Amino acid sequence: WSLTKSAVESFTFADGTPIHMGTYDDSTIEKVFENRDARLSLIVDPEVLCPVSFAYKEGVNSTTGYYTDKFVDWNDYGTVTWSAPSNTADGPIYTLSEVMLNYAEACAELEDLGQGTMSQNDLDISVNIIREKHGKLPALKYEGKGKVSVNGKEITADPKNTAGVSNLLWELRRERRNELMCDGFRYLDLMRWKQGY
């Protein structure tokens, strides 16, 4: 299995802005990984674009070209426990990152419903810790109801936001997608967000 092009393109530039706000070049594998969220090269092997059905390492193939090696221990290759679902990778079941992402999303959702008020502190004690530590990204700044910026640039509406949610909520969903990539959350998130069509 491998990441889709959509998943790869959900990762922001290194300045924290989504790719729709800049010039994104996917003409070479090097350019895909250039100047991006640090988590991308930890999840997808940045060394090679593995052609579909062509062997990459140790005979392993990619179904999309973007070979993911998150949780893969190449030292254990060839043993009976190496392949999912019985591999021995220390895949977390419940992480602090998930708790923080749940908190930030809940704050934004409550604000949208008129049941609460989002604040900069809500972002700082949750998603901004993850962005800075794992993605090496600058912090998100709360700009008022449904609005968010990064490094003084307000994040504009993403053309892929077909859910009709605020830019703030969309960026929190992007952050959740990227932080929990390959951890088994995506399907249930899409169902929860009514995006499973």
3-state SS assignment for residue 7: helix
Once rounded to an integer, what is the mean pLDDT over residues 133-155? 94
pLDDT of residue 160: 92
**Model confidence at 171: pLDDT above 90:** yes
Once rounded to an integer, what is the mean pLDDT over residues 17-27? 93
- Can you tell me the distance from the alpha carbon of 35 to that of 108, in angstroms, rounded to the nearest whole number? 28
Specify whether the backbone of 78 is left (phi greater than 0), alpha (psi in -120 to 50) or beta. left
Please, what is the average pLDDT of the chain?
86
At residue 55 the predicted structure's pLDDT band, cuts being 50, 70 and 90, is low
Once rounded to an integer, what is the mean pLDDT over residues 80-104? 73
Once rounded to an integer, what is the mean pLDDT over residues 35-52? 81
Which residue has better confidence, 148 or 86? Answer: 148
- Can you tell me the distance from the alpha carbon of 63 to that of 49, in angstroms, rounded to the nearest whole number? 11
- Neighbouring residues of 93: CB distance < 8 A, sequence distance ≥ 6: none
CB distance 41 to 33 below 8 Å: yes
CB distance 140 to 123 below 8 Å: yes
pLDDT of residue 20: 96
pLDDT of residue 184: 84
- Can you tell me the distance from the alpha carbon of 97 to that of 119, in angstroms, rounded to the nearest whole number? 19
Tokens of 110: 């409550």
- Neighbouring residues of 175: CB distance < 8 A, sequence distance ≥ 6: 101, 104, 127, 130, 131
pLDDT of residue 92: 58
**Model confidence at 73: pLDDT above 90:** no
Residue reference for tokens 């949610």: 165
Which residue has better confidence, 30 or 156? Answer: 156
Tokens of 42: 């930890």
Q: If you compute the radius of gyration of the chain from its CA atoms, what whole number of angstroms results?
A: 18
- Can you tell me the distance from the alpha carbon of 147 to that of 165, in angstroms, rounded to the nearest whole number? 11
pLDDT of residue 62: 73
Please name the helix (run of DSSP H) or strand (run of DSSP E) that holds residue 141, with its range, or none: strand 140-142
- Can you tell me the distance from the alpha carbon of 168 to that of 154, in angstroms, rounded to the nearest whole number? 10
